[in-house]
Structure 1
Amino acid sequence: MLKYLFVTGTDTAVGKTVVSQALLQHLAALNHSAVGYKPVATGDKLTADGWRNQDALLLQSLSDPIRPYREISPVTLPGDMRGIYNGEPMDFALMSNGLHQLSRQAQTVIIDGHGGWQSILPDYRSYSEWVVHEKLPVVMVIGIQTGCINHAILTAQAIATDGLRLVGWVANRINPGLAHYAEVLEVLRKKIPAPQIGELPYLPRAQQRNLAGYVDLSAVMALKARLTA
């Protein structure tokens, strides 16, 4: 298994954290230790300990071994997002140090991205600049909805242009009423230059479920074997 998997999406709210959850649960079922990492999160709730993000808390609960919240999510932006684009430098070193620290705790780190591939940070840099700096292999989450084929193809092209490897993609049926669902998946399988490693049906309260069976990392494991042969 690869040491790192960075989970990006074709847009925001397409299910990156749900897929990260599925990957962590799948690895746990294989007795493979893995921790979740959300380097940049948006705080959902202000607590006595500061802003806390529900996605980061979920990743923390699924990590093996369990790590403190600040290790899981070192940067938490204000929940209302007002005034965050202020030019204040993002600490890429802090994000990288956290990643490397977690890599010493488990066999694999599942990194849950923030927004889409070109999501902009408070200092106007793209989040993908950090991913490129760390040379992370990428898993793309495609929220199956109107326009997703275009978004998926453009995202895959952007990842390749940035010099990174797209190791797989996951279809997440976020719109249960979408017509021609099967045809959309067939187009994606023909057009995306990476294997499909998962398919999640529309699942209310997915965070409360075991999603291990909806993903299959055998193609990623095979890639690791080829790279080290």
Structure 2
Amino acid sequence: MARRTYFVTGTDTEVGKSVVSAAILKKAADLSLRTVAMKPVASGCEQTPDGLKNEDALLLMEHMTEVLPYEQVNPIALEPAIAPHVAAKQAGRQLAAQRLVGLARGLMMKPAELMLIEGAGGWRVPLNERETYSRLPIELGIGVVMVVPLRLGCINHALLTAEAIRHDGLTVAGWVANRPDETVMSCEEETLDYLKAHMGAPCLGVLPWLPKLDIGKLASQLDIQPLVGKPHPVV
């Protein structure tokens, strides 16, 4: 079964969780580690001849090492590009944390050294009227990787998210600073220095904005040793 499993969350929506997840998977593959990943719930899916597909889930499939059917990577695909609980309601479906837990545990049985579970939006995104998405990693008891966008307000959002994760009894295993667009924030270096000093978790890397997505180049900016342990010896 997957030796190390992490939940990937963001401080907000549209912060680059899928890109960061793909870069982590690529970095792990470069270290000769077997990887699997899933995005249990995805809204904003597109109709294809093979059914609803989500570009974020497809990106994960492209960069993990193990070959899985789409339905295992993204078992709940919703068409409207809105909050998952609203999209599910419009589709006549009900999201429940226990079902997501069961789906994740099934994938955790696959032989791999690293598994990523990508959430939706931020830590407190609703699944239904009673549960938030955070219930999934809480039930699984897994560490969390945070994606922090380098933009105005990110310090407050990052520290509040880390506080909520720890309040829920989980560990922030690491965080990645990401530039989600070409805008360069004012005092970026000072912001990074403050976050590194106050997050209480290792910074896994600072990812640049690229006009053309290049997961390999982004992966080269990451240090995932805090997630996977010491690198395997070269034989």
**Given the two structures, how large is their TM-score scaled by the length of structure 1?**
0.89
The answer as to whether partners of 1:88 and 1:122 remain within 8 angstroms in 2 is no
- Give the Cα–Cα distance (whole angstroms) in 2 for the partners of residues 59 and 145 of structure 1: 25
RMSD: 2.2
Please list, as runs of the form range in 1=range in 2, the aligned pairs for 1:50-65 lying within 5 A after superposition: 50-65=51-66
**Equivalent of residue 193 in structure 1, options 190, 196, 200:** 200
Please list, as runs of the form range in 1=range in 2, the aligned pairs for 1:29-68 lying within 5 A after superposition: 29-68=30-69
- Structure 2 gaps, min length 5: 231-235
- Structure 1 gaps, min length 5: 224-229
- Select between 6-15 and 45-54 the one with higher mean Cα deviation: 45-54
How many pairs does the alignment contain? 223
The answer as to whether partners of 1:143 and 1:174 remain within 8 angstroms in 2 is yes
- Give the Cα–Cα distance (whole angstroms) in 1 for the partners of residues 71 and 129 of structure 2: 21
**Equivalent of residue 146 in structure 2, options 132, 140, 147:** 140
Please list, as runs of the form range in 1=range in 2, the aligned pairs for 1:47-126 lying within 5 A after superposition: 47-81=48-82, 83-84=86-87, 86=89, 89-105=94-110, 106-126=112-132
The answer as to whether partners of 1:38 and 1:56 remain within 8 angstroms in 2 is yes
Aligned to 1:227: none
- Give the Cα–Cα distance (whole angstroms) in 2 for the partners of residues 34 and 135 of structure 1: 19
Structure 1 residues 66-108: Cα deviation after superposition (integer angstroms, max 9, x where no partner): 1000000111122243853649532434322332232232222
Shift of 1:63: 1.9
Shift of 1:178: 1.0
Q: For the structure 1 residues 92 and 49, does the alpha-carbon distance in structure 2 shift closer, same or farther, using more than 3 Å as the test?
A: farther
Q: For the structure 1 residues 221 and 67, does the alpha-carbon distance in structure 2 shift closer, same or farther, using more than 3 Å as the test?
A: closer
- Select between 68-77 and 168-177 the one with higher mean Cα deviation: 168-177
**Given the two structures, how large is their TM-score scaled by the length of structure 2?**
0.86
Runs (4+) off by over 6 Å? none
- Give the Cα–Cα distance (whole angstroms) in 2 for the partners of residues 207 and 98 of structure 1: 30
Structure 1 residues 13-37: Cα deviation after superposition (integer angstroms, max 9, x where no partner): 1111111011100110010000121
